[in-house]
Amino acid sequence: MNNFAFLKFMTLGTSTVGEIKMASRGKTETSKLKQNLEEQLDRLMQQLQDLEECREELDTDEYEETKKETLEQLSEFNDSLKKIMSGNMTLVDELSGMQLAIQAAISQAFKTPEVIRLFAKKQPGQLRTKLAEMDRDLMVGKLDRGLYTQQKVEILTALRKLGEKLTADDEDFLSANAGAILSQFEKVSTDLGSGDKVLALASFEVEKTKK
């Protein structure tokens, strides 16, 4: 490319270069925001996990009060998340799994902090690994059947919500063992998920017309 052609390219490409830089900066900011939100969620999930592990050391009132406070913090976090996602389709796509996971925790449909955390971070591979570990623990008697059933239902529901294909056996297990709260979450979260996307898209289109 001669000097004239190079200068012409640079002149014509100024806006394109600017757009690329803005897109890159936007992507970096989104990545940092997502990381910060994941760290906040990890902290709340750790609180829930610590609470469950110390349950026998606490009296009933203390346990219930602490759990209520943590769920209230999760609810506030969820409200903040909705405001952050409003009108930003990139964030809706990035954070929709986190929002569903928080809704599952708040509604008590999911009670296992580790499963909620993996659901929020969209980690189907790790969820399947967790399920395989549970299968082994059940076979050798390290895991109670009731707890196994509860956690497996949570994992299968999370996998389904993340768009993963379930086997016929898993679908049958889910149908047979999903309780009323989890079934209600399935229905409500489906409605909320689509509703949030529609509202975010509408807001995004309104903002575009103003510019």
Measured distance CA(159)–CA(164) in Å, rounded? 5
CA atoms within 13 A on the CB side of 59: 2
Decide: 74 and 80 in contact? Cβ < 8 Å.
no
Lowest average pLDDT, out of 5-19, 32-46, 138-152, 180-194, goes to 5-19
Q: What is the dihedral of CA 167, 169, 173, 176, to 10 degrees?
A: 120
Q: Give the confidence band of 203 by pLDDT, cuts at 50, 70, 90.
A: very low
**pLDDT of 26:** 61
Answer whether residue 175 shows pLDDT above 50: yes
Q: Which of 183, 118, 43, 23 is nearest to 134 (CA)?
A: 118
